[in-house]
Amino acid sequence: MSLRDILAAIVAATALGLAFIAIKIGVGEAPPLLLTALRFAFAAFPAILFVKPPRAPVAMVALYGLLIGVGQFGLLFLSIDLGMPVGLASLVIQLQAFITIFLAWIVMGERPSPVQLIGAGIALLGILVIGVSRLSGASFGPFLMMVGAAFCWGAGNLVGKKAGRIDMFAFTVWSSLAAPLPLFLLSLLFEGGRILPALAHPSWTLAACVAWLAYGGTIIGFGLWSRLLAIHSAAKVAPFALLIPVVGMIGARLVFNEPLGPFELLGAVLVMAGLVFNVFGDRLLALRAS
């Protein structure tokens, strides 16, 4: 990867990490499915008035929007609203890095290296430790939602790769159109009584959260992320997500004073170790051999 692309990956990961702080604040101002719908509605408008549609099949653009908008972020916002700690959420969703690598292997033949397989195993062990620590608690449901969100992100990454070398900014903008309607319908079905108060008297806090989620998280974060996946292998790009939980967990500690239990901390260390090994393992083994 060029220095420009490395910097783009760092900016994307930082924007996505900061989005977790906005999500936590936002679900206190509006119900989660409505907040998700507003995020993607404003990511699409008014940008589609100025951005030409991408040169990709409409079905592919819509599928990406549904996987990322409804699948990933619908589950993510619900999980945080139901009590999933922000820092932990930003960590667990990084399963997407390995889901992306394995889906790319199965669907596109991008075979992972032994180092990537070892890193995936270490990270998976960390996720299992976190999951076991939550088996006896009411928060296991939100934890499973986060795993589902990670799978949807990984599947969305693969759709972005399949779209090829196209204008990924346009792809991100136009795919955002697919998410608001189903999310609004789901919100009406499950959050009906909470919608009107949130929309009738929106606070400046809600407006700021929606603005950051729509433009910082979606347009900048996912726009850059999708572009990088289109021009590089999933194994090169996905591990940069390592920065997302770093930003998310530091932000959660500073803003919300979120603690981690001993098993959750152990699981977090294992996930981070797996991601670090995935990124730097080849270099470390080469240094040891020299």
Q: How far apart are CA 234 and CA 232, in angstroms?
A: 6
Q: What is the pLDDT of residue 80?
A: 94
235: tokens are: 């194994």
Spatial contact of 261 and 99, defined as CB atoms under 8 Å apart: no
Show Cβ contacts of residue 116 under 8 Å, excluding neighbours closer than 6 positions. Answer: 101, 235, 278, 281
pTM of the model: 0.83
SS (H, E, C) 210-245: HHHHHHHHHHHHHHHHHHHHHHCCHHHHHHHHHHHH
Spatial contact of 8 and 169, defined as CB atoms under 8 Å apart: no
Q: How far apart are CA 279 and CA 273, in angstroms?
A: 10
From 273, 251, 274, 270, select the one nearest 262 (Cα to Cα): 270
CB-CB neighbours of 70 under 10 Å: 22
Q: What is the pLDDT of residue 79?
A: 95
290 residues of the chain, pLDDT tens digit each:
788 888 898 899 889 889 999 999 999 999 999 999 999 999 998 899 999 999 999 999 999 999 999 999 999 999 999 988 888 888 888 888 778 888 888 888 878 778 878 887 887 788 778 777 765 554 788 989 999 999 999 999 899 888 877 888 899 899 999 999 999 999 999 998 889 888 888 899 999 999 999 999 888 888 888 788 778 876 677 667 767 877 887 888 889 888 777 877 888 788 778 877 876 777 777 777 66
Q: How far apart are CA 140 and CA 147, in angstroms?
A: 11
Residue linked to tokens 């204008």: 167
Query: C-alpha angle 69/71/77, rounded to 5°?
Result: 75
Show Cβ contacts of residue 88 under 8 Å, excluding neighbours closer than 6 positions. Answer: 130, 249, 258, 260, 264, 268
Q: What is the pLDDT of residue 234?
A: 67
The full set of domain ranges for the chain reads: 3-289
Spatial contact of 209 and 18, defined as CB atoms under 8 Å apart: no
